[in-house]
Structure 1
């Protein structure tokens, strides 16, 4: 067929009205199955593609949402993006990925809304912005927050159980008799909440419950939570002769770097040094030994965030009160903490709380 296929072409082939074609394409529920099948067959045969501009003018929705994350090179965010795309597909939504690189200017651009006419709403995981920027989150488009940097914004918020997950990970190591636990990626700071400070809080709670003080020499900062920084930071501590019998890496990329540093120095894992990470990315199942990790509920985070955003996009539910949802987390023990096969040692339930009322 010459030229672009139109909705009228689809209607002629299916033997229905243009309005019926429009209803099928836009998901109108009250269509007879036989009619829907004829329209879908015509769409497939003719290769019809909806004109996004026309859909926007007609429905004021594009069917597109944005996922804005700091960095896709980190396995957690790559796997989160995959989970969001799958969850969005189930809602008949398409995801555009925006990488902010953790830069303040790019994160403010996400909130400025200049590009928001392209999408119906935003899933946003900020890294550079903090509590002092709270007013910037009062936006006029649907948004769901992810992560730990911003609490109390006028938006739905889906996050993980950082404190309890870190506490349970440390308790697992303490239960193995380990007492010199290096906290890789930790920060001794009173700054605004981050994944690092929240996980440090959980680690400190577990030590205190066991009657142990936090040794600052065992809090090992890492400039970035990547494999290289993990290997270098832990390697420097080991080379200084600091006694270590366990490592709690605050994400799995750091844990993989730590494993490299331990192997390079001939230290047996878990015989001499036990190791646990956080995030439960796919790579830890293929390390030697396999690495124990805290599974923070990544798929649940994706499904919940997409569901909340889809609700916020719909006029009928756009004004419901905001909620904050913390997902269930689990500690999965593997070879790096002495388990021959994966074993779930702790389950941490999620929670839902009311946040600010909708605008």
Structure 2
């Protein structure tokens, strides 16, 4: 019996756990999946939760039912990679022979005041608190409201895809709120010119005030401070400017990069502790064009590949090297608009893009319910899109 522990049950953790259970069933693999929450969080859709939309509830016990995986609810408080043990906050200690680390990333709160005064997308509960706060602002139930047609100002910090989606979604759902998008560069800067033009037009249509060249130096209870001392009023500040790995990885002695992500080899094993596999946002995965950035598009293939690498190792085989190429940059712009920038494998933009309702249909297809994907994995199948993204899995 080989004890395999999977820490984290986001997209990457769940697919890694299911794929591992299927691939090690005949070699005596015992898989336990650990997560702080009992529900599966659709992190891709947290901007919709923030805007007040209710999403489907997926209990993790149901998600992994029929796979032989033991689900353990608990928050990981410590990791001893020498003794091969994970310690939970309630004192339980879980031993392992092989570990898949899929705890993701958290908001980079290095700017003063972010931790104390900003809303972030680190978990579902925090996002629900933001949704409740925005609903209260719209209803005029909180203090510090502006007069006139609007009921409050929301500052979204960060012009990446998460910031753009959040600003658009909030403005679409709460038209009486004044949404300000603060960013150092141009929103959607990684896209091609035509896709960016559609994105810009959509933000303008939704009434989002975009301020570029904004360098936030401090988050305050009722606003943000910019370099130079300017104060921008805010009744709610959402911080989306970057992420980093949990301190847990570095504290355990695993080799990490400057952003706290576990450095892995081509089989997605820790370069310092090869019994630990790291996937998704928690891993620094190198490809010829650079290190993968945190997206579900790249995260799920890492979960699948780590499971296959682990299974190959248990069979005494040499794991294949991980290969990955980006396909698209999908961005929702409220519920009735979107833009899809198709990309080269290195994530640079191609000429082709989709906009409007065609883009909405495309995005809803690729980021819809994860249950069909999980169902395929339970039957030992790999979704076709995973082959397309990675050029084939071992």
TM-score of the superposition, structure 1-length normalised?
A: 0.34
TM-score of the superposition, structure 2-length normalised?
A: 0.32
Which structure carries more helix by proportion? Answer: 1
Radius of gyration: which is bigger? 1
Which structure carries more strand by proportion? Answer: 2
